[in-house]
Structure 1
Amino acid sequence: MTARILVADGSATSRIMLKVRLAAACYDIVTASTSQQLMQSLRNDQPDMVLLGTALTDSDQISVCNLITQQQPGVTILALAQASMRIQILRAGATAVLSPNVNEQMLLARIRCLLREDARDSGILFSMAEASATFDDGRTGDICLIADSPVRAARWRQLLQSQLNCRFSISDPDNALASAAIGRSADLYMIAADIMGRGDGLRLMSELRSRQGSRDAAFVVAANIDHDDTATFALDLGASDVLPLELSDRGGTEVAMLTLRKQLDRKRRADRRRDAARRSQLWAMTDSLTGLHNRRYARSRLSEIVDTARRQGESFAVLLLDLDHFKSINDSYGHAAGDAVLCDVARRLETIVSDRGVAARFGGEEFLVVLPQANAWHAQRMAEEIRRAIGLRGTLLPSLSGGGEITVTISAGIAICDHYRPDRSVEQISELVLERADQALIAAKSRGRNRVVIAPSEAWLHT
């Protein structure tokens, strides 16, 4: 989908020029010349970012940034302003500031970078493999400095640590990669574009961005300000921002501080979204009472196991287990007692199955176990282990149900699959295996309960 950019500029000439440049890059452009038009466009057009040019006809750039951040927090603002105004505009809420005379390549690279970061923030591109950072000492994050010399790295740390309440570390490429490989990545990496050779800092950043342990970190590249092509290339490779290599003057240090703080804030927001997405995914595949996987997840995993087994010519087993006379527990002791029994059975089931297969609550008092690469001997052995573990020890009932202890038993039906007809789909095989296991479970119930029955043959799958 084409990104929409709101160009806000008080000069009609500037608006037209920016619109032409961005439209040529295939962006959808809307424009505003006053603060009222800008706010109305933010509400109605919902642009992906604001490109703030010169002052609007009724407001200066700082006031506009303050207005946007107060009324529409979270909007990405790229401002074009003189260097003397950069700090004030960043403090007012701009995401980034470029010179009004910036060349087209750098302008487009910065826009692509900001849109990419917004996509990652909104969850479109994030990976859920990395746990979010936790700060237990009041600090706001870990920053790893990788410069072209130890002296420069120490200088960066000296200038920045007085401005930012962060943990700073100095590293080299090998140690940074090694730390990321064992899960000790930084929240933000500030890397010189050229460390020992031309562009090796950019290659290091690309490597860190590709590693599971560090892919969700923020990356800021420090480059020679005379090399616009390096900064442009860094942004397109995945840098979140670019800073001058030399931070000697106070203004440069404050700009660096504001830049790093914004990137850490963005990282923290992405971590929160990642955590929320992880929780939502966990809830979507978990039974809320027992904590086991739920029926939806179990059916999905069964299909995956069937597909793998068929392609590799392996066998697998399905166990359906049902608590005996469970209705009488609810009728005699109440639903709180029934819930306690279900939870206790689920814990014992999960302990036995562990990583050997998939255990799920399939519905009511029925449980499902799927065992990849298992034959009849493996399946029956596990089913008997589960049956004994449940029947030999009682469940403590809650005081709400009168306390005490109750012992329950379980019946199990097993279906084994080790042959596959080529015209059967994964879904058909899954349904047939479940149906066969259910028939075996019914047989176990009819033969007196508290027993395991194996479906007599798998011929039904390939005849």
Structure 2
Amino acid sequence: MDRTQMTARILIADGTATTRITLKVRLTAACYDVCTVSNSDDLIRQAHLYRPDLIILGGGFAQTDPVAIAMSLMGEAELTSTPIIMLANAPTRLEALRAGVAAVLDPLIDEQMLLARIRGLLRDSGDMPDMQNSMAEPAAQFGAAPSITRVALVADNPARAMRWRGALQRRLASAFTICTPAEALVAAANGHAADLYLIAADIAERGDGLRLLSELRSRNGSKNAAFVVATEPHRTELSAIALDLGAGEVLPVDFDSATAIELAALALQSQLSRKEQGDRRRVETQRKLLWAMTDPLTGLYNRRYALPRLTEIAGEMKSCSQGFALLALDLDRFKSINDSYGHAAGDAVLVDLARRIERCIEDHGLAARIGGEEFLVILPSTTEAQAMQLAEDLRTAIQARPVRLPALSGGGNIAATSSIGVAMEEPCNGGFTAERIAEASLERADRALRQAKSRGRNCVVLAQPEHAG
């Protein structure tokens, strides 16, 4: 969720009353929740109490170095992920950026740029992926040897791009590529997006670098990259626009001094670090989503995910006038396996049979473990003949060969069979809701499963058709 859509909390720390008041008025008018601190002694305590989303650190503190204050804040475990904007003049800028401050702005910065900076930092620190995208993206491999970061340089002419590369590659352990806008887009589409793009605001035409930024930010292959925009001194009106479009930093287009080069290198390194943090958040979110959706033993979906998904499928099938099938599957005499061989043997049987279920249904439907030895299979857009055939294939696959038991249980093999109840839900569902259709289908499949058990087990029973009443 984008934090700028909520009331973000901003802590302003400045020893000068005029500065504090002015900033508070500006930010409160922009609908932020603002708290102020007037001395460095109270700052850390107030930060822990207020839990700000962003800290603006000014000056005016008696006998206290603002950079030292920033380092103290960043050293607090609960504040390490809280971005800090420092308001400081040029001599302090390098020192603050080296210390890890997210941004250093001129104390006289105009309101438009200040608000754009705040929006950008809140967006970057609060960005989390939605479920579908996070589950679709491959997980980054953290813990392995660190890979070389890739930086794409898109300048207004090759000579400037070469100057950028020459200045930056001595300070950053990255692989630099000079490319045109078209080449950058093609590479991203082919799965070769850069980790960071340094883009001139004006390339062939005025402002076309910002259009490229927007395009890259909208593409799945490159939307999670870091972006830095370089502008000519007389094109400062583009800076706030670039930040709002997704750039993490704005730099002068020419690195015309050793200080400018170091500032640029620090800015790029900061953006690469923030990208890595974002990647880690996405991987962690993906992991948590996976844990919430799946059974930890078998890797199939769990009950918490499967039952709401059944309701969704019922609604989808109803809206397109198609039927679906529901299979309730139970392993026969599973308790005797646990009692005779131990729970490790029972777990081995469940895991092995879960794999057989997956192989049988492939991409025809969804399989879930909803209880100890109980499984559910949902088959959208399926006919009765198809559902019965797949159920019989499942029953046959489960009894086809014995399961090898782990050495912990004494080894050897054990045979297993299953009973399966099949419920068909036809396209005509009257005025029933998706929830009621799903509930009725589950009840009918469960009754059919009990009938299969009463008929001697290891068989498939089709539930009698009835309306969801």
Please report the TM-score for the alignment, with normalisation by the length of structure 2: 0.93
Q: 1:49 aligns with which of 47, 54, 79?
A: 54
Structure 1 window deviating more from structure 2 (242-251 vs 97-106): it is 97-106
Q: How does 1:14-29 map to 2 (within 5 A)?
A: 14-29=19-34
Structure 1 residues 124 and 55, CA, compared in 2 at 3 Å: closer, same or farther? farther
2:216 and 2:202 map into 1 onto residues whose CA distance is 16
Unaligned runs of 5+ in 1: none
Q: Which residue of 1 aligns with 2:94?
A: 87
Q: Please say if residues 316 and 418 of structure 1, whose CA atoms lie closer than 8 Å, have aligned partners that are also in contact.
A: yes
Q: 1:227 aligns with which of 235, 250, 254?
A: 235
Letter in 2 for 1:61: P
Q: Which residue of 2 aligns with 1:113?
A: 120
2:436 and 2:19 map into 1 onto residues whose CA distance is 63
Q: 2:17 aligns with which of 12, 16, 29?
A: 12
SS at match of 1:21: helix
SS at match of 2:370: strand
Letter in 1 for 2:117: R
SS at match of 1:414: strand
Superposed CA offset, 1:286-324 (max 9, x none): 111111111111112211111110000001101111111
Letter in 2 for 1:219: F
Q: Which residue of 1 aligns with 2:384?
A: 376
Unaligned runs of 5+ in 2: 1-5
Shift of 1:10: 2.1
Q: Is residue 61 from structure 1 mapped to residue 66 from structure 2 by the alignment?
A: yes
Q: How does 1:20-419 map to 2 (within 5 A)?
A: 20-71=25-76, 72-120=79-127, 128=134, 129-131=136-138, 133-134=140-141, 138-139=146-147, 141-419=149-427
Shift of 1:132: 5.1
1:65 and 1:236 map into 2 onto residues whose CA distance is 25
Structure 1 residues 187 and 288, CA, compared in 2 at 3 Å: closer, same or farther? same
Superposed CA offset, 1:174-224 (max 9, x none): 222222223222221111111111111111111111112211111111111
Q: Please say if residues 294 and 301 of structure 2, whose CA atoms lie closer than 8 Å, have aligned partners that are also in contact.
A: yes
SS at match of 1:363: coil
1:194 and 1:4 map into 2 onto residues whose CA distance is 35
1:15 and 1:6 map into 2 onto residues whose CA distance is 10
SS at match of 2:124: helix
Shift of 1:97: 1.1
Letter in 2 for 1:288: P
SS at match of 1:355: coil
Superposed CA offset, 1:258-313 (max 9, x none): 11111111111111111111111111111111111111111122111111100000
1:50 and 1:384 map into 2 onto residues whose CA distance is 63
Q: Please say if residues 429 and 437 of structure 2, whose CA atoms lie closer than 8 Å, have aligned partners that are also in contact.
A: no
SS at match of 1:371: strand
Shift of 1:423: 2.8
1:452 and 1:76 map into 2 onto residues whose CA distance is 60
Q: How does 1:427-446 map to 2 (within 5 A)?
A: 427-446=435-454
1:26 and 1:57 map into 2 onto residues whose CA distance is 31
Structure 1 residues 133 and 185, CA, compared in 2 at 3 Å: closer, same or farther? farther
Superposed CA offset, 1:300-354 (max 9, x none): 2211111110000001101111111222222222222211111111111111111
2:264 and 2:131 map into 1 onto residues whose CA distance is 26
Please report the TM-score for the alignment, with normalisation by the length of structure 1: 0.94
Q: Which residue of 1 aligns with 2:464?
A: 456
Count residues in correspondence: 460
2:24 and 2:460 map into 1 onto residues whose CA distance is 73
1:393 and 1:225 map into 2 onto residues whose CA distance is 75
Q: Please say if residues 33 and 57 of structure 1, whose CA atoms lie closer than 8 Å, have aligned partners that are also in contact.
A: no
Shift of 1:126: 11
Letter in 2 for 1:270: G
Superposed CA offset, 1:371-409 (max 9, x none): 110011000111111111111211111122221111111
Structure 1 residues 123 and 348, CA, compared in 2 at 3 Å: closer, same or farther? closer
SS at match of 1:423: coil
Shift of 1:370: 0.7
SS at match of 2:7: coil
2:60 and 2:116 map into 1 onto residues whose CA distance is 23
Q: Please say if residues 143 and 188 of structure 1, whose CA atoms lie closer than 8 Å, have aligned partners that are also in contact.
A: yes
